[in-house]
Amino acid sequence: MSKILILNLYFVYLLLSNEVDADISPKVSKAGKVERHVVYGNYSGMALLMDIYYPEKQNGHGVIQISGSGFTRSLSLDAELLTDWRHVKYHSEPLLEAGYTVFAINHRMTPRFKYPSQISDVQRAVRFIRHNAKRFQIDPERIGAIGESSGGYLATMLGLLDGDENIPDDHPINALSAKVQCVVALGAPIELFSELDLSFYLGFRRKEQLVKGSIEHAIATEASPLSHVSKDDAPILMIHSDSDEKVGFSHSELMYNKLKSIPLPTNLIQINGANHELFINGLRVDSFTNDYVSWMDKHLRGKVIESN
């Protein structure tokens, strides 16, 4: 075989290797210990799983992490787990460095499962973590949540809902509150009547959803985080690109203005020029990571943040 042919084959191999690597979600590398596939619930024989990332040195607080999925995974038996998605690394590593124990969760998704299954699952995850707080060595009364896109929506609902919803039975785990005490939401949909069509998540046509007085309109209202704002809600930090092509920046503006009117602790960090996944020219924006760690420090740990 000629040297030229060997070199050409080598370069083809490198090209294909780079393409494969580009599709592989980066793994969390800054955890002291990892527990994979911990069962936090069992829906009719289908296990609900979470991965637990322990920092090198725990600060005594935990944060539930919810990756974005568009509320959907394929029906394949080999569908990718949310806990294997790149959001886990992006969200978790700054929190791990600050000493937080991170609980990355999977939840039921469309097309098989529609609203409110996703809400029920993330609330069960919070209750499970709270019930086992001693084992995880975290404060059961001060739990945070971080999520992106649909995960940001679910994290926001955990901070807005009363925490006594979706209780299927009298098991001791389900008797606990599902409300979290601090939220970071990235690019989250906030109201379901905008240009964003989430009829596949709600389970009915958008046409009926927009008819005021209809059952569908009532369900869409109930499913919209904006409808649940009240004075006892968790502090919410929103991070959103002003050029988000999937969930308009106006969603976070609406929530920010409503929270401020209560008033509740809130902030909105505007990212200029990034896409929905917060990438610019192929690179993930990470300028806000210190901001959300500080948000957790302040509202979970009561740590005083000095202004520059």
Task: Give the whole-angstrom CA distance, residue 65 versus residue 87.
Answer: 9
pLDDT digits (tens, 9 = 90+) for 100-125: 999 999 999 999 999 999 999 999 99
Mean pLDDT over each residue of the chain, to the nearest integer: 91
* DSSP-assigned states of every residue in 19-82: HHHHHSPPPP---SEEEEEEEEEEETTEEEEEEEEE-SS--S-EEEEE---TTB--SSTTPPPG
C-beta of residue 194 within 8 angstroms of C-beta of residue 248: yes
Query: Taking the complete model, does pTM exceed 0.85, yes or no?
Result: yes
Q: For residue 27, how many other CB atoms are within 10 A of its CB? A: 11
25 or 202, which is more confident = 202
Give the DSSP letter of residue 143. Answer: E
Name the residue among 125, 123, 129 with its Cα closest to residue 141: 129
Q: Which CATH number fits domain 42-299: 3.40.50.720, 3.40.30.120, 3.20.20.140, 3.40.50.1820?
A: 3.40.50.1820
Residue with tokens 């935990």: 62
pLDDT of residue 305: 60
Kindly report, residue by residue over 47-68, the tens digit of the pLDDT.
999 999 999 999 999 999 999 9
Q: How many residues are present in the chain?
A: 308
List, in sequence order, every residue forming a beta bridge with 147; answer none if it has no partner. 66, 185
